[in-house]
Amino acid sequence: MQDIKLTRTNTKAFAYNTKSPVEFLGKFEAVIETRKRISVATFYVAKAANCGNLLSLTTAQELGLISLHVDKLTSKDAALENILQKHSKVFSDLGKLKGEKIKLDIDKTKIPKAQPQRRIPYHIREKVKNAITELEIKM
């Protein structure tokens, strides 16, 4: 990534439960790719030191990393498809539990707080990295 020049941006983004926007140093466009697809994406560079990385929904879809189906759950993995078909009753009517009553105990005196993203524990980072690589290969 040589010769990248940041351009000014007026984009405003807010972290959860904050009133002030994230301060951006600028933005740039770059080509990103997976094993199967290539896309051009806009990257926003934040001033904060401990920012995580996000991939927009549009970019993830263009790269074929995810696909959204409002009323249907599908997979390219035959084993997973087998499970989905075998237990189709559980995976139908996404977001609804028919005939089930659930009571959520919520303390309304507590104010929600934004939580920092959790880091992967050091002792399992290598396993997570290998699992992600394995998933990328399957795509």
Per-residue pLDDT of the chain (139 residues; tens, 9 = 90+): 567 788 998 888 887 788 888 888 888 888 888 888 888 888 888 887 666 666 677 878 888 888 776 666 566 677 877 887 787 777 666 566 667 777 888 888 988 888 888 888 888 889 999 999 988 888 7
pTM of the model: 0.43
b/e sequence 71-90, b meaning 16+ C-beta within 10 Å:
eeeeeeeeeeeeebeeeeee
| Residue 92, pLDDT score | 65
Residue 94: per-residue pLDDT: 58
